[in-house]
Chain A
């Protein structure tokens, strides 16, 4: 679970780190990606892991268009407006899903849903092992993308110094939208890894959105390393909290961490700037 959290948080931290906006539609977008994976599986019988080939580019295009045509136009250069617009987007998406799919909880059945593997004497669900490894691979890929490619350099330049980057001939709006698209695409990957061992319903994103925020805040806004550590840490906290307090109260643990971190260490564990 922690590794998938990491993947979700990586998308969020990328968007935050570059655009300095908090994307409230992150949870709803994840829900949409989950439904896409689910739909592809139900209609075409596509394996969830294979559906990544469609869902990831699809989410990328969606994210690019959303930033370019909706969020940017509504922002009027004010952060609060972006916050409100992404909130509006998430409300629309969530309730459209509610309209179309009703509030039923669905999950998919694959031949490996219930199979297990034994690693170092521990019996683990195979789907969870795959999602852990997959999430690690995808996040390593993201890191390479950001660190070594031209696009990655442009993204980092814009994140550091918007005006300077613009003067150097970087198309800032394009880079913004690319970052948003990449953030969304990593949600698509997360959805594909998540679904075999998880479920989907229209409000599933709500649970994740605060979790992702907590990870990002815990790890330090915009820090990749922070998102990794934070994601794994939070997966542990949730499991342990659930073990001792029961499932619903276990969630309170996450929110309490979130509030406490925000209050006492808003720069996070690995964040440099306050």
Chain B
């Protein structure tokens, strides 16, 4: 319940910003920060809660973007309908790729590699086949209206992407408090033990990939609506996968607010460097990479882990540092919520419906 309240507060506060400020800079930053948050949160569903590190999430992003473009341009569908279909298509692709990878037991580094390879295959195919426009890319005709999901001010886009971020947050909250989420975390922490207790790891991981891919597809569709232009290197390129992953890790994997904090911090940082150094090619990614290394060395639980670390330092001897929620960053901090005793003890819910 506390999670829900916080999400509502977050939505209201961010949603009000366009009324308070009409500055293009502020709104543009907010839009990009929310966009980055959406990608990070999408990655977090699979990487943080599922423990499956994907290095090729761009494959879902790009598929969402191309689906959004082609449904509108070739079939003449309304962008709102296209958005739903694009998300559905990305989610289905996620389920399919997840099913293929997990069916053959890929995990850890192998899963990361195979997702990277999938993204590369899609990028090269999109460059080669006809209907994607190849390397020339696709240009969405500009016509600003609500029905076309093209807005004259950034405010419209801010609300649009905010609604998706809120949905992503709700999904994450669901993962923390539902039976499915408990299964997922149990599989992440110890797959064999989870299986022994009657959890089906394959189905659980595929489900998480599907959710994650759907959100990523929404991100791709949103990208198209804002910038009205896509090409294969832009949407299937590795920088999208990296942005999603770095945001989630910097903020804190497997937490509700970590990716929000991480993505916003990164977006702020890249805005600052843009002001300091101008538009140097690659400077952003240099910082992303350096930050990723620094976080891994000094704060493996991300920025959100800082809070917990400060609190716990006085109480107990330092535990081996691992993924965030296992030692209770948030998960067991409110067992009194009542709606989900399972979230605190993931393995327990397993045997009740072993079928």
Contact = CB atoms under 8 A, between A and B. Distances in A.
Query: A and B: real partners?
Result: yes
Contact of A263 (B104, B108, B289): B104
B297 A73 contact: yes
A109 B120 CA distance: 31
A256 interface: yes
Contacts of A255: 117, 120-121, 124
B106 A79 contact: no
A23 to B, nearest CB: 10
Contacts, number: 131
B220 to A, nearest CB: 21
A70 to B, nearest CB: 6
Given A22-B113, A249-B128, A263-B104, A84 B249 contact: yes
A240 to B, nearest CB: 17
Interface string B125-141: 10110000000000000
A88 B320 contact: no
B300 A259 contact: no
A216 to B, nearest CB: 10
A110 B320 CA distance: 55
A273 interface: no
Contacts of B112: 22, 83
B118 interface: yes
Contacts of B121: 252, 255-256, 259
A84 B249 CA distance: 9
A251 B125 CA distance: 10
B147 interface: no
Contact of B109 (A79, A206, A263, A264): A79
B113 A91 contact: no
A80 B281 contact: no
Name, among B117, B238, B290, B320, the residue most crowded by chain A CB atoms within 10 Å (CB to CB): B117
By DSSP majority rule, is chain B's interface helix, strand, loop, or mixed? helix
Interface residues of B, number: 47
A266 B110 contact: yes
A56 to B, nearest CB: 25
A99 B282 contact: yes
A120 B322 CA distance: 59
Nearest to A202: B282
A147 interface: no
B89 interface: no
Nearest to B297: A74
A224 B112 CA distance: 23
A87 B55 contact: yes
B282 A95 contact: yes
A35 to B, nearest CB: 14
B288 interface: yes
Interface of A: 21-22, 70, 73-74, 76-81, 83-85, 87-92, 94-96, 98-99, 102-103, 202, 206, 210, 213, 217, 246, 248-249, 251-252, 255-256, 258-259, 262-264, 266
15 contacts: A76-B321, A80-B109, A85-B297, A91-B242, A91-B285, A91-B289, A94-B285, A95-B286, A98-B282, A99-B283, A251-B124, A252-B125, A262-B117, A263-B104, A263-B114
